[in-house]
Amino acid sequence: MSEKVLVSTKHKSNIDIKRDWYLFDAKDYRLGRLAALIAPILIGKNKTKYSPHLDFGDNVIVVNARKIKVSGRKKEEKKYYRHSGYIGNLKEENLAALLKRKPEDVIIKAVNNMLPKNRLQTNRLKRLHIFTDDKHTFNKVKFKNIK
């Protein structure tokens, strides 16, 4: 009566990945808006092949991290904490002090909080390259523009 037709599903694999490069200038953006643009690119949601269990994300370079903008009184009121693991060794500093000491960490922490908390998170963050000034070491790479 009816013939059975075998239908196979083609699964995506890590072999099919082609990673693009994106360049962002942080002086044109506010901190949260920049992190909200970077996170989906690192995840790979801008690609048609997106699959949540595979890492199809692209590489992102951010320059001028020192010149990032924030709104309101966040530079004085936003707190960042770090702890060495020893009793009583909790360190606290505000956004202005962290921007002066290590401006890359501000963007890394903002993007990290927007990524899904799974085993792909560390590999996605490794593809985020942040530079404090205009110069970067990826001169031979062809970038895609974002506006």
- Those residues whose C-beta lies under 8 Å from the C-beta of residue 54, and which sit 6 or more positions away, are 12, 13, 14, 17, 44
**Residues 31-62: tens digit of each pLDDT:** 999 999 999 999 999 988 888 888 999 999 99
83 forms bridges with which residues in the sheet? 90
- Structure confidence by residue, pLDDT tens digits, 92-144: 999 999 999 999 999 999 999 999 999 999 999 999 999 999 999 998 888 88
Residues with Cβ < 8 Å from 18, sequence gap 6 or more?
A: none
* Domains by residue range for the chain, with CATH: 19-70+103-130 (3.90.1180.10)
Alpha carbon distance 121, 57 (integer Å): 11
**Which position has the token pair 């799974």?**
118
